[in-house]
Structure 1
């Protein structure tokens, strides 16, 4: 173990977060784009952690058994590839780092395969030796042992870094970060239990899986019996998710790489694997997806129909529904509001409602999609509703249950509590929640637009009359709130920025 370090003793979470974020300052002014900082800093953090834990385990075994002891570690570090070995390299530091990481992955098959990602460590134009040496020395000043920094604490610090990188990276953050207060609410509503399987088909950095684990732990359940599964198309983001799970002490997990719609990773024979709980924030309304293949989908994910080319939302929805356990399956999906009322998906929405799969439609306030002003909604479905909820849908209008501080929007604990109580009680609450029968939804042409069912309270505490779908739509357009057109314009703008 490296002695004489700055933090060779337990430190507070705040000290740790501050020290880790200082690593980003080393990259400021370098040729590395700020959107790529995470690709270097997070793997370095993980590398340092597993080496320090290896040292800690080695020392504990010597103290217990003496020089003749079983050399057992949770992760193997091949000789010559420890952090301290790379630290003393004076030339071609990137090559030494990359070689050490690849050898550690190979020494831990099935557990750390590809976990360090694919950052170009050997590109000296982006990362000259002196920059890497500065990063190595910075991380070397903290001993990341379990005794100094328990798993929960380091996991929280890792999540902090992910949040900071999201704040720094602009609109691309949507690909790998979901507002954690929204995630916490989704998990609370689904109430995962010990021993259940949890799946996120577009898992990003694994935040939803971690939140499910934390919820079971918070309620005193045996969280180690959870089985966590995720798929992520971005190679580096998938690696970050795997590192995130390991740093949180998760043992039973699988995070696969690949496009969920094109090549679902979790299958059994001729069908999709099913899970007890699915949490998801799919990329909204992607235009570039293989609609033609979906029309004859081999996994039967077009049972509601084939979505339009410009909006793959219902493709993800159907994938999720087909991935639910027939008896225990429930899901919470974060969507833009358009999925509730768009005309081109009307027939699919009708089949969805008639199948009695929708349990709750929750409308959230603006700016909870990361770096986007759009309003979001959460759609909760169950394959087997409780008897008293069958033939019904709960609509919750929580558009005002949101706080905004320093340009950040989030749900306060009291917001989450009010929404959760409404969902659990499953009853009418004037101006906030309404239970509608499927017959009532059918009368609105199967639209799930929340204002059709929840009468908002006016300034004098009166409730507004329920309008027809045509009236609501007319008001929407007249008030310049054609939400979907604004969303399309935003997506088109982002597409043009990415292509420039």
Structure 2
């Protein structure tokens, strides 16, 4: 199959569920089923290869060392395919058995979808779904990791488009992800962390970025935490589908129970990329005031908005020597009065390296403009004590209700970050001292990058011009009429 044929084939599975379940729920059934089919087909491929190597030794071919994952015979896709009654129970049992057979890698990866609810998914619907997936072998020979990984990302985007209000929970606009990854420029051997990782796009793209540059991406250490069960499972599947096996993605509430600790302190990372849930109200402010991990570096955010709780968690999780972060936020984090003191301390500690104002509609189901906040614990000498502001609100392609950054937009923004210098109407380098002169220590890009001011004409000038032009037009019309009359 070509890439396009593969994507059409996989999306066909989702369309078979239309009218049966809500579009927002497709992901919790289609992704696990796709992953289940993949690992069974790869298991068969590995079994055949080992069988050939051993001159038909079945026991040898079944050894665990010959397989990425163990698939018990009773849990194999083919066994479930033969089931005609209580198909949902057969699928659920098979998935649980595979998780148990691979406790270190696949525990909980299939999520908690309700396969046994016949009111939602009848035996006929599930049988049709299984038959649809059975049309093609999804082994490595037919569908390499790259191809399936790209198709998996395609599905994630399609589900985001289809599901509207739930999309932002698990999907970040991939063109923004590309820009964020280029700016952070993770290197082989570094640790990369996303505290609210969704479907894992930011982490995954760090590895793919290195691979595309011809560098050793397998030494990158990837860590992520995600509060939603099915979304965290999708993130793990996303990694495996792309052939990436060295990662740790944990389900949990990052603010209440951070997953990655070292010696009872937060683990430190070289690079952090994040698109945190914005302005959430349901968080434990009281506990944060006395945070056991010391994350209230600059203060305690208001109950109605946990943005700076996440930003401080990010800062506390950065390696002190070379840690750097990039976070996608709505613009409010740059100017809200209630967070001014925390913002001031962040600036005074010379942590903010760059603020990029992005265009509208880059968040799913929201027309709000967004921004990128970049921090760095080890600024280059020429950048110390300064912040670069980039006004990239026009560097965007609008499509209906969603916008994208095209390659030339990404290149222009990235080059501006690299150059770190003033460019009229586009960038401005501002001293920290000047920023904190403002009582609210605002980081709004439009305060520092000014639009081109067109020369204003006074009323008298405009009126005189109009009067002169009107007389000229009247004379011309009279001449025209005379010419026509004489003709």
TM-score in terms of structure 2 length: 0.91
Contact residue 218 and residue 244 of structure 2 kept, 8 A: yes
Cα 1:41/1:459, change in 2 over 3 Å: farther
Check if 1:50 corresponds to 2:51: no
Cα 1:98/1:343, change in 2 over 3 Å: same
> 1:231-270 to 2 correspondence within 5 Å?
231-270=225-264
- Supply the distance in 1 between the matched residues of 2:405 and 2:438 (Cα, whole angstroms): 30
Partner of 2:452: 457
- Supply the distance in 1 between the matched residues of 2:327 and 2:200 (Cα, whole angstroms): 15
Question: Matched residue of 1:136: which SS?
Answer: helix
> 1:229-378 to 2 correspondence within 5 Å?
229-378=223-372
**1:227, CA displacement in angstroms?**
0.9
**1:406, CA displacement in angstroms?**
4.1
Structure 1: runs of 5+ lacking an equivalent: 1-10, 462-500
**1:29, CA displacement in angstroms?**
1.6
**1:459, CA displacement in angstroms?**
5.6
- Supply the distance in 1 between the matched residues of 2:433 and 2:26 (Cα, whole angstroms): 53
**1:443, CA displacement in angstroms?**
2.1
Partner of 1:228: 222
Deviates most, 188-197 or 65-74: 65-74
Partner of 1:488: none
Partner of 1:395: 389
Contact residue 111 and residue 233 of structure 2 kept, 8 A: yes
Q: Structure 1 stretches (4+) deviating beyond 6 angstroms?
A: none
**1:456, CA displacement in angstroms?**
1.6
Contact residue 225 and residue 250 of structure 2 kept, 8 A: yes
Partner of 1:22: 12
- Supply the distance in 1 between the matched residues of 2:374 and 2:261 (Cα, whole angstroms): 23
**1:255, CA displacement in angstroms?**
0.7
**1:353, CA displacement in angstroms?**
0.3
> 1:136-285 to 2 correspondence within 5 Å?
136-285=130-279
1:440-475 CA distances to partner (integer Å, 9 max, x unpaired)? 1122332101111111224679xxxxxxxxxxxxxx
- Supply the distance in 1 between the matched residues of 2:77 and 2:339 (Cα, whole angstroms): 54
**1:352, CA displacement in angstroms?**
0.4
Question: Matched residue of 1:351: which SS?
Answer: helix
- Supply the distance in 2 between the matched residues of 1:190 and 1:25 (Cα, whole angstroms): 37
**1:170, CA displacement in angstroms?**
1.1
Question: Matched residue of 2:106: which SS?
Answer: coil
1:292-333 CA distances to partner (integer Å, 9 max, x unpaired)? 000000000001000000110000000000111111211100
Partner of 1:97: 91
- Supply the distance in 2 between the matched residues of 1:51 and 1:320 (Cα, whole angstroms): 38
1:231-284 CA distances to partner (integer Å, 9 max, x unpaired)? 000000000000001111111111101110010000112210011111100000
Contact residue 221 and residue 246 of structure 2 kept, 8 A: yes
Deviates most, 150-159 or 443-452: 443-452
Partner of 2:470: none
Question: Matched residue of 1:443: which SS?
Answer: coil
- Supply the distance in 2 between the matched residues of 1:307 and 1:236 (Cα, whole angstroms): 29
Question: Matched residue of 1:80: which SS?
Answer: helix
Contact residue 357 and residue 390 of structure 2 kept, 8 A: yes
- Higher CA-based Rg: 2
- Supply the distance in 2 between the matched residues of 1:324 and 1:336 (Cα, whole angstroms): 22
Partner of 2:443: 448
1:129-160 CA distances to partner (integer Å, 9 max, x unpaired)? 00000000000001101011110110110011
Contact residue 389 and residue 427 of structure 2 kept, 8 A: yes
- Supply the distance in 2 between the matched residues of 1:444 and 1:76 (Cα, whole angstroms): 61
Question: Matched residue of 1:111: which SS?
Answer: helix
1:39 to 20, 28, 36: 28
Question: Matched residue of 1:332: which SS?
Answer: strand
TM-score in terms of structure 1 length: 0.89
- Supply the distance in 2 between the matched residues of 1:365 and 1:300 (Cα, whole angstroms): 35
Partner of 1:128: 122
- Supply the distance in 2 between the matched residues of 1:407 and 1:18 (Cα, whole angstroms): 23
Deviates most, 57-66 or 108-117: 57-66
- Supply the distance in 1 between the matched residues of 2:454 and 2:149 (Cα, whole angstroms): 45
Structure 2: runs of 5+ lacking an equivalent: 457-487
Question: Matched residue of 1:364: which SS?
Answer: strand
Query: Between Structure 1 and Structure 2, how many residues are aligned?
Result: 450
- Supply the distance in 1 between the matched residues of 2:55 and 2:191 (Cα, whole angstroms): 42
Aligned-residue CA RMSD (Å):
1.2
Deviates most, 153-162 or 61-70: 61-70
1:337-372 CA distances to partner (integer Å, 9 max, x unpaired)? 010011111110110000100000000000011110
Check if 1:62 corresponds to 2:51: yes
